[in-house]
Amino acid sequence: MEEQIEIDDSLYSRQRYVLGDSAMLRMAKSNVFLSGLGGLGVEIAKNIVLAGVKSLTLHDVKSATRMDLSANFFLTEDSVTKSINRATACCSRVAELNPYVTVRASTETLDEATDLVFLKEFECVVLTEVSLNLQVKINAFCRSQNPPIKFISSDVFGVFSCVFCDFGDEFEVVDPNGEEPIESYVGKITKGNPGVVEVQGDSRHGLENGNVVTFREIFGMDALNGTRHSVIVLSPTKFSIGDISSEAYKPYTHGGIVQQVKVPIKKAFQPLKEQLKDPTLMEVDFAKLGAPLNIHVALQALHHFIQLHKRFPAVRDEQDCKVMTSIAKDVAASLKHPIEINEKLVRDLSFTASGLLAPVATAIGGIVAQEALKAVTGKFTPLSQWLLLDSRELLVGQDKLESSQFQPRGDRYDALRICLGSDIVEKLANQKLFMVGCGAIGCEMLKNYAMLGIGRGPDGKIIITDNDIIEKSNLNRQFLFRSHHIQQSKSIIAAASTRDINPDLKIEPQEYKVGPLTASTVYTDEFFRSKSIMVNALDNVEARRYMDSRCVSNQRPLLESGTMGTKGHVQVIVPHLTESYSSQQDPPEREVPYCTLKSFPASIEHTIQWARDKFETLFAQKPIMYNKFWEQNGQPSKVAKMDKTMPPENVVKVVKFLTTRPKDWAECVSLARIKFEKYYNHKAKSLLHAFPLNHKLENGSPFWQTPKRPPTPLNFDLKNDLHFGFILSTAKLYSSICGLRVSEEDYKFDKIASILSTVKVPEFRPSSKPIITDESVKAPPVMEVSKDDVEQSFSTLLAFTKETTVAQDYLKLQALEFEKDDDTNGHIDFITAASNLRAEMYSIETADRYKTKRIAGKIVPAIATTTAAVAGLVTIELIKVVMELPLESYRNAFMTLALPALVFSEPAPPEKTVISGSFTCTIWDKWEVRGNPTFKLGDFMQKVKEMYKMDVSMIVQGVKMVYIPAMPAHRKRVSKLMTELVKMQAGVSYVDLTVTFVNPNAGEDDIAGPIIRYYL
């Protein structure tokens, strides 16, 4: 009998949203073999184990050396001193990353004489630090098996790297990109051969040629419903679907949804032996066209050199370089399509091959691990078939340096020194780095900083801050944390774990939030200016923009990066060289119209948002309002005697809840039952009363047509699991806010059924409230209560206080704060039940708890592989910033590991604003004006004109308008003191002012100048 595997959602929740349960389950049954536990191998191992395969076998025959400490973060000085085998030394450290994965160490010889039959137990084999001949042999063995064992080989030499994949002749990809299937509302279908579909309104269908689609809810041409068709795109809003000209297809009338169907595809691979001669290469950097093929040739030459000499080329050795170049020419000539080699590239490889740049290993390790997960799951499109990268920008200018700069010195930084030289190693050591955020990317960054020795020098230091604590769901990606760290500070544990990797580091953890509240106390301008480099490890746009603005105003470089699922980005921001993070902004997300959420949901996302809003209203906002009311107004007896003509705010709502609030579990259940009737029966009846099923619009078309869906009133059935789930979850939350003691016995079906048998449910009465149908209308303002309602509330309250002695705790509710990751609090249970009932009422496909949690909790899908790849790439850019390289040396990056796609581009320079003639400025320019305590606004404006030859047209400080001449009152401000008009922070002698200038070209818009820093 096949073993049943349960997915631990508390650990894997973010990754499940990337891979899906089918892939997760396939992965949990897979065994992977990994050879070579150097810097690259340990990175691959970390990511594969975090993902959750069944087992990982770590193979290595080498003992730990001090140079290994440059990139292997699980080796220690003790491993080196005792010459422990690298696989043995790393095994327990890798295993503790995930209790669900079996990790074994193997130290058996693996060479060209080895019988490879032992590999049959694995679904995927990953090789690093293996000779090219042995790679070819193992690849051939893997291909000979049925089914083929998926084969991956990868290496990092200095600043060069390669990845090769071979998954056999017919590898099935069950989901090429991992994206949700595209859905669009149908606006029109033209009968014919081919038939043409046009989507509704100005929306775009987003389909590509060859996509397969299906239809549902089509009226008129209902023969299309449930059928599949291949698409040919005609325009962003139209596509054809083949022959629909027969009598079976009646004329289209209205409605319908077209949905993309995910169809598995087959991928064919060639063996390594063939690919060495005629490689299939992935181009990633259009500034380096042709580089991948040259790297391919150079790496083969390196393998041949090692095979001939049983060693790497010596560091910066000219003779070895000549030998390498000669071999490379022979390799290039033997290709199916011979090329002229790039001798400078071969030289760079020869000089640095025995070194290893840790962030390159980090980036490649993330990519390789993702390919291994593809191999065992069929999820996402595999690499076809080579990825070859270099970071040769880091080697610019090295020919002018002495060879001694690069020679090993017997310490843990030798692999880095071979690549970059001692001067850069020391420069990295003396960086004053500030990083905001210690989550997934933050952990990966810190690991890289430990490997590079950043902040260990006499003038160096790393400061990190994060005000969050560690949760179990973090452990799947944030590898510096373990289960015994849960509920502890992220920054403190991250700092301690980083020092465990490299005890040389000087790192200070803080727990403050970076933002306006700490700008004048902790993270002041002086703080920013005292740092040499800033790093974002953040998960929201608002915080990124804030950090960006502070770095721009203080002229500090910023490294920005982020991930979402298999997507990731890297942006390097350098004062006066590049644009800033805020220079480009994504378009705002389109808001769901109020009427859609309120009355006309069309998708499960709408019903989930409605349920999430209900949670907030019922269990957070109302309790807060209730508590505030009694705190401000005193006892009910006192309120009952107040002047009715001047009632306190929210008296009607508060009195209603005071007199009806549940006093025991039975009343919680009763209230939940009444809510059910209101939301899922009466609401539907109200809509159908106002808009019957045959209701027509003014143009004669049906009111109820896509995307509007007519509701069906739900009749309560306690035996329906969804109905019971709503009652139970709602009653639980009411008991929570009311502070009632409830036992497990109360949750039982029979107990709830007994209570419900006595509940009197109000009958439906049509409402006179208008129903908004216009999608452009925002939420209406809260209606003022009538005089009669106020009178009734006071009468009710007076009677209530006469009959009841109100205890103080009765005037207090426990407002709930939504928490998606606590499965015991019932929050997601309520939202799931409430959403799915609404979905049933509107004939919308329901969503399971897992999907509901993602949407309601706005969970960002995440996986360790993308995080590692992004962190590695952004750390390479950090080194370039430290080296102060020119603009053309930097690379922004965008990746989608699912496809896979990786694109490098040179950062854009800052946009120049023409002030007048040849006088320009950018966001990085900062003008200064120095005044004194008697300086008036007019003096400031005159000073600006004298210094910059421009007339001021407007002055703003933050969101405060200091001077707008169009406003009559502002003209009088010209004679006022600057100290009266601008707000100075305590202890700060300046303010930053946004100033615009009169355009010398009459009739044209005013000119936005740079920030002017005004010193008092």
Helices (H) and strands (E) in the chain — how many of each? Answer: 33, 31
Closest by CA position to 909, among listed 585, 562, 584:
584
Contact assessment for residue 367 and residue 44, using Cβ atoms and an 8 Å cutoff: no
Looking at 91, 595, 668, 738, which residue is catalytic? Answer: 595
Contact assessment for residue 751 and residue 664, using Cβ atoms and an 8 Å cutoff: no
| Dist. CA 300–CA 160, nearest whole Å | 12
- Give the CA radius of gyration of the chain: 33
DSSP 101: S
Question: Strand pairing of 257-261 and 183-190?
Answer: antiparallel
Q: Beta-carbon neighbour count of residue 975 at 10 Å?
A: 10
| Dist. CA 524–CA 909, nearest whole Å | 27
Angle at 994 between CA 992 and CA 1000, to 5 degrees: 140
Please name every residue paired with 876 in a beta bridge, in sequence order, or none if there are none: none
Contact assessment for residue 151 and residue 138, using Cβ atoms and an 8 Å cutoff: yes
| Dist. CA 467–CA 542, nearest whole Å | 16
Backbone angles phi, psi at 431, to 5 degrees: -75, 140
- HSE, side-chain direction, 13 A CA sphere, residue 243: 3
Closest by CA position to 371, among listed 443, 269, 464, 466:
269
Contact assessment for residue 548 and residue 560, using Cβ atoms and an 8 Å cutoff: yes
Cis-peptide, bond into residue 861, ω within 30° of zero: no
| Dist. CA 677–CA 686, nearest whole Å | 12
Beta strands in 408-557 (DSSP E): 432-436, 461-465, 507-510, 533-536
Cis-peptide, bond into residue 707, ω within 30° of zero: yes
Backbone angles phi, psi at 419, to 5 degrees: -80, -45
Please name every residue paired with 56 in a beta bridge, in sequence order, or none if there are none: 32, 103
Closest by CA position to 669, among listed 716, 617, 616:
716
Chain-centroid distance of CA 400 in Å reads 42
DSSP 376: H
Contact assessment for residue 85 and residue 107, using Cβ atoms and an 8 Å cutoff: yes
| Dist. CA 717–CA 714, nearest whole Å | 9
For the chain, report the end-to-end CA distance as a whole number of angstroms: 80
Only one residue has tokens 């005071």, namely: 658
| Dist. CA 116–CA 967, nearest whole Å | 84
- Taken as a whole, the chain contains a residue count of 1016
H/E element holding 930?
strand 926-930
H/E element holding 406?
none
Please name every residue paired with 229 in a beta bridge, in sequence order, or none if there are none: 213
Class of residue 385 by CB neighbours under 10 A (exposed 0-12, middle 13-18, buried 19+): buried
Question: Strand pairing of 926-930 and 960-963?
Answer: unpaired
Q: Is the dihedral of CA 189, 195, 196, 199 positive or negative?
A: positive
Angle at 404 between CA 390 and CA 324, to 5 degrees: 45
Active site residue 91: no
Amino acid at 511: E
Please name every residue paired with 214 in a beta bridge, in sequence order, or none if there are none: 228, 259
Contact assessment for residue 611 and residue 596, using Cβ atoms and an 8 Å cutoff: no
Q: Is the dihedral of CA 268, 270, 272, 275 positive or negative?
A: negative
The residues annotated with a catalytic role in the active site are 595
